[in-house]
């Protein structure tokens, strides 16, 4: 269970709880709107700090119309990204993209963020299908860039453990 900071006014607890609930519901809504299947949010403090990050696995997405080879789709995804690289997830070719997003107060996004996405075709699917794994972390002015880079490296390390499992 998370602890409130020492000296946190008891009168502010309901307000803080409502704000946290609002933010969690917004994260879930955004995950659902982007075809999210699973949403991971760190809720426990590590070394006294909440980790400002999330990890979403998408529902399987249908391939673009036509008979396009997976490699061609991966090349297109890489071409359109500001920072892309070829990767492999459990023997399947994938593309990893990194986007640094600016704050957008008009959309309720108060601080910049980094988004890493892995896109991979599902091998042996009857009709071509794809999974995306998206990681986002805040890049607040008070947070060192090195910390943000470390969180991205941790996500990349997690993705090296990905394995396909069939029922």
pTM above threshold 0.85 = no
Can you give the pLDDT at residue 156?
Answer: 96
**Residue 46 pLDDT:** 76
Confidence of residue 23 (pLDDT cuts 50, 70, 90): low
| Confidence (pLDDT) at 19 | 61
pLDDT-based confidence at 161, cuts 50/70/90? very high
d(CA 1, CA 145): 28
98 pLDDT higher than 90 = yes
Q: Rounded to an integer, what distance in angstroms lies between the CA atom of residue 109 and that of residue 126?
A: 39
Query: What average pLDDT does the chain have?
Result: 78
Percent of the chain having pLDDT more than 90? 19
User: 7 pLDDT exceeds 80?
Assistant: no
What domains, with CATH codes, occur in the chain? 37-159 (3.40.1000.10)
**1 band by pLDDT with thresholds 50, 70 and 90:** very low
More confident residue, 16 or 117: 117
Alpha-carbon distance of 57 to 31, in angstroms, equals 9
Asked if residues 145 and 152 have their Cβ atoms less than 8 Å apart, the reply is no
Pair 117, 57: CB distance under 8 Å:
no
Q: pLDDT band at 138, cuts 50/70/90?
A: confident
What are the tens digits of pLDDT across the range 37-95?
777 777 777 777 778 888 888 877 776 666 677 777 788 778 877 798 989 999 999 99
Cα separations (Å) of 14 from 3, 9, 10, 26, 79? 14, 10, 8, 18, 48
């Amino acid at each position: 269970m998370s602890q409130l900071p020492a000296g946190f006014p008891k009168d502010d607890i309901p307000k803080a709880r409502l704000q946290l609930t609002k933010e969690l519901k917004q994260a879930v809504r955004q995950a659902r709107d982007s075809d999210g299947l699973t949403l991971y949010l760190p809720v426990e403090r590590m070394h006294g700090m909440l980790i400002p990050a999330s990890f979403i696995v998408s529902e399987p997405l249908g391939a673009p119309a036509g008979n396009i080879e997976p490699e061609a789709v991966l090349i297109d995804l890489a071409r359109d990204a500001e920072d892309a690289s070829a990767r492999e997830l459990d023997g399947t070719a994938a593309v990893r993209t990194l986007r640094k997003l600016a704050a957008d107060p008009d959309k309720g996004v108060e601080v910049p963020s980094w988004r890493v996405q892995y896109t991979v075709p599902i091998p042996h699917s009857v009709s071509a299908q794809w999974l995306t794994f998206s990681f986002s972390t805040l890049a607040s002015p008070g947070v060192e860039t090195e910390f943000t880079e470390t969180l991205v490296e941790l996500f990349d390390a997690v993705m090296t453990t990905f394995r396909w499992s069939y029922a």
